Amino acid sequence: MRSSFPSDFAWGTATSAYQIEGAAQEDGKGVSIWDRFSHQPGAIEDGSTGDVACDHYHRLESDLDLLVKLGINAYRFSIAWPRVQPLGQGAWNPQGLDFYDRLVDGLLQRGITPHATLYHWDLPQTLQDMGGWANRDTCQYFAEYARTIATRLGDRVKAFATHNEPFVSAMLGNLMGIHAPGLKDAKTASQIAHHILLSHGMAVRAMRAATKADLGIVLNLSPTTPATSSQADQDKAEQEFAFVSRWYLDPLFRGTYPSTPAPIPLPDVQTGDMALIQQPIDFLGINYYFRDWCSTDTPPIPAPCKQGCSEMGWEIYPEGIYELLTKINREYKLPALYISENGVACADSIADDGLVHDAQRIRFIEDHLHELKRAIAEGVDVRGYFYWSLMDNFEWSKGFAMRFGLIHIDYPTQQRTFKDSALWYRDYIQRERFGAQQKEATL
């Protein structure tokens, strides 16, 4: 096995707009479905909202300096659609566009490569009022937004992802009702998943004409493991993989929906939709957090959880990143891949010595990188790794209780503290980037 990652590997961290920016009602920003949802009583477990979050909007320059201290060479962020186009159609907000200009320029000045995501779940509320993603017109508005951002930032951003995790947008928001907009309707959720994919295709087409940047999409993918070798458990594992992963991989890379039975109705698909969705893209971003453990027993046989569980209750299973990558690499004809998110929530706190000793996170990253290296050694074309997240932030329905960051945030004071894992990640990257170059130079 090769001893190091490719020398031009992207070493990064990831964030998203609603989770860190705050400034929810400033400088002309429009209201998003998350602004609306988080203010509904009972929607967020700890009663919090993203109104202030990490106040990143006001701390842009000093936060960018933290990236330099971290030694990363790539940063994945998202653009809040309602910040740049408050109503989701029509007028643009110059102050919003300006913020992302400054973000991109600030990264480049610091030698860090910008990777932007256009939609990390914060739909303009006015579009939701017209039906949101269930309304096919939203796809057209999204393509217009994508074209404008590509025109504005596409000379400096290396890669644009259209969507983050269409499965989660569609299903947690519209089937399970635990994310914005908080709906529980299977037929609507299915149609929304289709429209999100369609909007991806329309956006890619619109952006190609405006930028030479790489274009792609980010999916949450999980390998599935049957709890026993019974046929029922195996079938369940295949159905679960189809519902969460193939439902998105197949349209993007095969131009069809899987024939495996789905737990929700099929969407209405119009002529030409599948060709639009399937058009070539330059990269696929993969968010890997856990495997899906599939048991048909009652009560279900629990996952072994040998390596522990995170604060989210997610099984820590580093081998899954290897299993997933090698599986999809065998089964699909894929473009370049990135691990666009991978991370763990720990019960972090500042110790008496003023530091945060998050040994569990260090182990988590180290083990996942080991498994990632194994997949790369076997020929999977992975170009970068983005730890989720740069800093603790607003973890959707869980609020601020879940801490995923390399950097600890004390919310009342907004003080930033590097956790042990941040220093460890910095040293790891340093060895990989410069150790590898030294080795090459001496050959």
Catalytic residue, chosen from 165, 240, 315, 432, is 165
Q: Does 425 help bind ligand FCB (rule: CB under 6 A)? A: no
Neighbours of 2 (CB within 10 A): 10
Catalytic status, residue 315: no
Could you write out the DSSP letters of every residue in 302-351?
PP--TT-B-TTS-B--THHHHHHHHHHHHHS---EEEEEEE---B-----
Positions 280 through 319 that interact with ligand FCB (CB under 6 A) = 287
Say if strands 407-410 and 415-418 run parallel, antiparallel, or are unpaired.
antiparallel
d(C-alpha 6, C-alpha 179), whole Å: 37
Q: How far is the CB of 157 from ligand FCB (least distance, A)?
A: 19
Catalytic residue, chosen from 240, 341, 371, 395, is 341
Stretch that binds ligand FCB, among 53-61, 150-158, 164-172, 232-240 (CB under 6 A): 164-172
Q: How far is the CB of 393 from ligand FCB (least distance, A)?
A: 8
Q: Tell me, what DSSP letter sits at residue 291?
A: P
d(C-alpha 128, C-alpha 134), whole Å: 9
Stretch that binds ligand FCB, among 129-137, 161-169, 180-188, 264-272 (CB under 6 A): 161-169
d(C-alpha 81, C-alpha 89), whole Å: 10
Residue 367: burial class (beta carbons within 10 Å; 0-12, 13-18, 19+): middle
Q: Tell me, what DSSP letter sits at residue 432?
A: I
Q: Does 16 help bind ligand FCB (rule: CB under 6 A)? A: yes
Segment (H or E) for 114: strand 113-119
d(C-alpha 199, C-alpha 184), whole Å: 22
Out of 63, 165, 214, 233, name the contact with ligand FCB by CB under 6 A: 165
Out of 84, 123, 161, 168, name the contact with ligand FCB by CB under 6 A: 168
Draw the binding track, 320-359, toward ligand FCB (x: CB under 6 A; -: no contact). ---------------------x------------------
User: In this complex, which beta carbon is closest to ligand FCB, that of residue 172 or of residue 202?
Assistant: 172
User: In this complex, which beta carbon is closest to ligand FCB, that of residue 16 or of residue 188?
Assistant: 16
Q: How far is the CB of 116 from ligand FCB (least distance, A)?
A: 14
Catalytic status, residue 240: no
List, by residue number, the catalytic residues. 165, 341
Query: Can you give the binding site for ligand FCB, defined by CB under 6 A?
Result: 16, 19, 164-165, 168, 220, 287, 341, 388, 395-396, 404
